[in-house]
Amino acid sequence: MFLNYIYALGGSRVALANIPTRTILLVNAPKKNPQAAIYAHAQWDLAEACSRHKKLSMSIYQENNNLVSLTTRQFLQRLVRAAKRIIVLTLLALPAVVGAPLSYGLRTIIPKVEDMMWSYLLWAIEKSGPTFIKLAQWASTREDLFPAALTNRLVKLQDNTRPHGWKHTSKLLKAALGDWEKFLHIEEQRPIGSGCIAQVYKGTLKSPQKIMPAPGSGEEEEELKAGDENKEEKGLKKVEAGTHVAVKVLHPNIRDNVEADMDIMKSFASFIELFPKLKYLSFRDTILEFEKVLIDQMDLSHEGTNLCRLTENFEDDQDIFFPQPIQNMVSENVLVETFIHGIPVLNFINAEEKVKKELCDLGADAIYRMCFLHNFLHGDLHPGNILVIDREQTTTTAAGRMVDWAKEHLGRSKRRYALAFLDAGMVVELSYQDHLNMVKVLGAFIMRQGHRAGELMADFSKSRDTTDLEGFCAGIQDIVQRSVDEEFFSEMGQYTSDIFALACRHHVKLESKFIATSLAVKVMEGIVIHLNPDIDMVSKGIPPLLKSQIKYGLYKEVLQLKEIYKDLLGSAEKELANNVPQS
> What pLDDT was estimated at residue 41?
34
Pick from 70, 90, 116: which residue ends a domain?
70
| Domain membership of residue 503 as a residue range | 427-579
> What pLDDT was estimated at residue 301?
93
**CA–CA distance, 503 with 489 (Å, rounded to integer):** 19
* pTM exceeding 0.75: no
Residue 497 lies in a domain: yes
Residue in 389, 383, 398, 387 with CA at minimum distance from that of residue 417: 389
Q: How many domains does the chain have?
A: 2
Q: Using an 8 Å Cβ cutoff, are 210 and 203 in contact?
A: no
Residue 244 lies in a domain: no
Residue-level pLDDT, tens digit, the chain, 583 residues: 333 333 333 333 333 333 333 333 333 333 333 333 333 333 334 444 444 443 333 333 333 333 334 457 777 777 888 888 889 888 988 888 888 777 777 777 777 777 788 888 888 888 888 888 877 877 776 665 567 777 777 877 766 678 899 999 999 999 999 999 999 999 899 999 888 889 999 999 999 999 988 776 555 444 444 444 444 444 456 888 999 999 999 998 888 888 888 888 888 888 877 776 666 666 777 777 778 777 888 899 999 999 999 999 998 888 999 999 999 999 999 999 999 988 988 888 888 888 988 898 888 889 888 988 899 988 877 777 899 998 877 554 555 555 554 454 444 567 789 999 998 988 888 888 888 888 888 778 777 788 888 888 888 776 656 667 888 888 888 887 776 555 444 455 566 667 777 877 777 777 766 666 766 676 666 677 777 777 766 667 778 887 888 877 776 776 766 665 555 555 445 444 555 555 4
**CA–CA distance, 122 with 153 (Å, rounded to integer):** 8
Residue 64 lies in a domain: yes
Distances (CA, A) of 547 to 173, 254, 298, 375, 436: 44, 41, 34, 12, 12
Residue 99 lies in a domain: no
**258-296 as b/e, with b when 16 or more CB fall inside 10 Å?**
bbbbbbbbbbebbeebeeeeebbbbbbbbbbbbbbbbbb
Distances (CA, A) of 49 to 190, 248, 349, 410, 431: 44, 34, 48, 49, 19
Q: Which residues contact 565 (CB under 8 A, 6 or more apart)?
A: 446, 538, 542
The secondary structure of residue 341, as a DSSP letter, is -
Element (H, E) at 399: helix 398-409
Element (H, E) at 44: helix 43-50
Pick from 45, 70, 95: which residue ends a domain?
70
Residue 446 lies in a domain: yes
> What pLDDT was estimated at residue 277?
65
> What pLDDT was estimated at residue 130?
82
Q: Which residues contact 28 (CB under 8 A, 6 or more apart)?
A: 35, 55, 57, 58
At residue 509's C-alpha, the angle toward residues 504 and 512, to 5°, is 115
Pick from 41, 70, 99: which residue ends a domain?
70
**CA–CA distance, 399 with 245 (Å, rounded to integer):** 11
Q: Which residues contact 82 (CB under 8 A, 6 or more apart)?
A: 2, 260, 263, 264, 267
Number of Cα atoms under 13 Å in the Cβ half of residue 378: 29
Residue 489 lies in a domain: yes
Residue 100 lies in a domain: no
Residue 537 lies in a domain: yes
